[in-house]
Chain A
Amino acid sequence: VIIICFFSMIVAVAGAPFVGTTSISLAKVFSGAATPDNLDRQIFFIARLPRAVAAALVGGCLAAAGVVFQGLLRNALATPYTLGVSAGAALGAMVAITFGAAMPVAGVASASLAGAALAVGVVYALASARRSGFSTTVLLLAGVTLNAFFSALILFVQYLSNFSEVYRAMRWLMGDLDVAGYGPILAALPFIGVAFAAFAWLARPLNLLSMGVEAAESRGVDVTRAQRAAFFSASLATGAAVSIGGPIGFIGIIVPHLVRLLVGADHRVVLPASTFLGAAFLVLCDIGARTVIAPMELPVGIITALVGGPFFLWLLVRKR
């Protein structure tokens, strides 16, 4: 299953740049000179390829983060956005869009990453403040409350914006993988690398944690350490993904559930398979976003929700 998911991701990423609203000559793309006048090459390498890579990275991150959050919180309905990471990232992005001109380092991606880090820091401080150890219940409640609080701040920032800024902010919230270059991807890659290194280590502890905290402890898992690692790595992956493509919904909940339905609950399989399938799924959704109402484009978040919502409901009903 992992291998099938991996190959579907490779096929999707390799095929996506060949699909688009304008017809381009492949001969010019690959053999033409890399000058600004070679439009076909520009469209392929500036508009399409980074976009496919971004979609794969974001899809993989969100799906994997979904798996980890569901395992950590032992809640099937947890998503990468449950703990306030996306709301923090969105607040950062809104501030950058609205006050970008007045800030020393203008950049929506870095601002959203900073916002995500802020949210993670606050939630973590709350979850570990009350007593020794790390309470997932407090984590959940703090995350949900922080989501609401940041949403209010987002509305306040939007109220201060002008029309063009409000539109850009709204569009960012709908998810947009048109990164137009490799800058945002390169900036997010180190974070994604660290997160996935942690995921690789987390597969076994998450398996044991799913049987309950006591059971995991009796088998030698340092529960607090595993929970902390899960929380920070999944938040890191989510923050990096959101900084690239905005808060794209549903990937983090549908893909893990679909994979579990196919292969069972072993995180050693579910984690990599979800990553690859999430990547392939988002690349396909993005192809849809680019082509459905061409030459205009649908926000990709709308596609994932339109495809994912009914699919998830079908899964729910079918499972019973």
Chain B
Amino acid sequence: MRQGKAASLQGCKAARPVRPAILLLIATGLLVLTGPRSQARGLADSQAPVAPPHRIISLIPSVTEMLFAIGAGDAVIGVSSFDHYPHEVESRVKVGGLIDPDFERILSLRPDLVVVYGTQSGLIDRLARAHVPMYHYEHAGLADITQTLRQIGVHVGRADAANRLAADIERRLSDIRTKSSSRPKPKTMIVFGREPGSLRGMLASGGIGFLHDMLDTAGGTDVFADMRRQSLQVTSELALARAPEVKFAPGRPGPPRKLHGNATPGGCWPPCPPSAPGAST
């Protein structure tokens, strides 16, 4: 758990690179002061459950998935409004989302553990005042997933299952890295928002975070690896200048698509929509 706190603070450090020294100091201070209970501040504030919790509310879809994956799904009584996986969650009470959690509904369910995201500071404060046990965390990259998985396992009394699953995920990631290391690394850009069919209004993945880590693991060279932020607004000039060999752009509608080739003179990456100028080139 000590390791966990350090990892989550490293995550913060990566997200705001301006004050690494201060963050390191705070991290060290917190570790010394709080020791092993530091990760779950809510648990420390209120009474830590002796028995594993059996009325869990998860406000983050990925944690819900983790809970079900380690066999704690039966104890989950409430989930966020954005939870749709696994299908069992459809029968659970929906308690709002990241920015609009329904505090009254959460309290009315009488949970013995609420899992929230670290940025939900308002909810964290209110839960702490109501002495509701909680676990909160923040993710900054791929490596944090298995850390969180292990910590969740400890909190719900399923450490062994969580450890097994985490080790399995780490082994598979390592296999992918080994396989991709011997292959060419194409320059890749991940776009997750743009004006359809054009190079306008592009929002792309930057040099830190999940998407960057996944791209790195899969054997791509992130064209924005030097941009130390999770996402960035990309101008058409920057997108052209970085000359990505592979582009991923959101399908409209549908899953992300892989686009090949350079931009057409009309200013669009093939396949261009029929209405775009230069679509035939």
Is there contact, CB below 8 Å, between A39 and B241? Answer: yes
Q: Which of A22, A39, A47 has the most B CB atoms < 10 Å from its CB?
A: A47
How far does the Cβ of A117 sit from chain B's closest Cβ, in whole Å?
A: 20
Q: Counting CB contacts under 8 A, is A90 at the interface?
A: no
Contact of A178 among B236, B264, B278 (CB under 8 A): B236
Q: Name the prevailing secondary structure of the A interface residues.
A: helix
Tell me the nearest residue of chain A to B276, going by C-beta.
A183
Contact of B265 among A34, A37, A186 (CB under 8 A): A34
Is there contact, CB below 8 Å, between B267 and A180? Answer: yes
Q: Counting CB contacts under 8 A, is B72 at the interface?
A: no
Total A-B residue contacts, Cβ distance less than 8 Å: 104
Q: Which of B106-114, B161-169, B196-204 is found at the contact surface with chain A?
A: B196-204
Q: Which of A120-128, A192-200, A205-213, A289-297 is found at the contact surface with chain B?
A: A289-297
Is there contact, CB below 8 Å, between A295 and B238? Answer: yes
Query: Given A164-B192, A167-B203, A46 and B198 touching (CB < 8 A)?
Result: no
Query: Given A46-B199, A168-B193, A296 and B237 touching (CB < 8 A)?
Result: no
Q: Which of A100-108, A234-242, A249-257, A270-278 is found at the contact surface with chain B?
A: A100-108
Chain A, 128-183, CB within 8 A of any chain B CB: 164-165, 167-168, 171-172, 176, 178-183
Is there contact, CB below 8 Å, between B201 and A171? Answer: yes
Is there contact, CB below 8 Å, between A183 and B241? Answer: no
Query: Given A43-B241, A101-B252, A296 and B233 touching (CB < 8 A)?
Result: yes
**Chain B: interface size category:** 20 to 34
A42 to B238, CA, bound (A): 11
Q: Counting CB contacts under 8 A, is B263 at the interface?
A: yes
Supply 17 further A-B pairs (C-beta < 8 A) apart from A42-B263, A46-B263.
A21-B237, A22-B238, A36-B281, A39-B240, A46-B236, A47-B199, A101-B196, A171-B201, A178-B200, A178-B235, A179-B200, A181-B198, A181-B268, A181-B278, A183-B198, A183-B267, A295-B238
Chain A, 24-83, CB within 8 A of any chain B CB: 34, 36-37, 39, 42-43, 45-48, 50
A-B contact pairs, 22 of them (CB 8 A): A21-B238, A21-B241, A22-B237, A36-B263, A36-B264, A39-B241, A42-B265, A46-B236, A46-B267, A47-B199, A47-B240, A101-B252, A108-B195, A168-B193, A168-B201, A171-B201, A171-B233, A181-B266, A182-B266, A290-B237, A295-B241, A296-B233
